[in-house]
Amino acid sequence: MTLSQEAAQALIHATAQPLALGHDLTERERDVLTLMVAGLNNTEIAEKLVVSPSTIKSHVSNILAKLGVGGRTEAIVLAVRRGLIT
């Protein structure tokens, strides 16, 4: 199978584009991030999602790592500015 030059160029261009920030957040991490933006703390988020606070702490750590930020406030600002949540 051969690709036309145009198709090959489009494929190269598409793979050269950086992935969108937050693309790798799971659905649950997005839920947690949304509640963080709403101002809830870990205990409140845990109650709302019916999980343990330690589970939320793990989700928050994953969110911070995936967004490349150092803290909760940075994650919230980034989420709002970049439209990472609905």
User: Structural domain of residue 42, as residue ranges?
Assistant: 22-82
Longest dimension (CA), the chain: 56
- Asked if residue 2 belongs to a domain, the reply is no
**Residue range 46-73: mean pLDDT, rounded:** 97
Confidence category of residue 13, pLDDT binned at 50, 70, 90? low
- The CATH number of the domain holding residue 40 is 1.10.10.10
pTM of the model: 0.77
The answer as to whether 6 is a domain residue is no
Q: Is the dihedral of CA 61, 67, 69, 73 positive or negative?
A: negative
How many domains in the chain?
A: 1
In a domain, 5, yes or no: no
How big is the CA angle at 80 (ends 75 and 84), to the nearest 5 degrees?
Answer: 80
User: Do the domain assignments include residue 68?
Assistant: yes
CA separation for the pair 37, 72 (Å, rounded): 9
Is there a domain that residue 11 lies in?
A: no
Angle at 63 between CA 16 and CA 34, to 5 degrees: 110
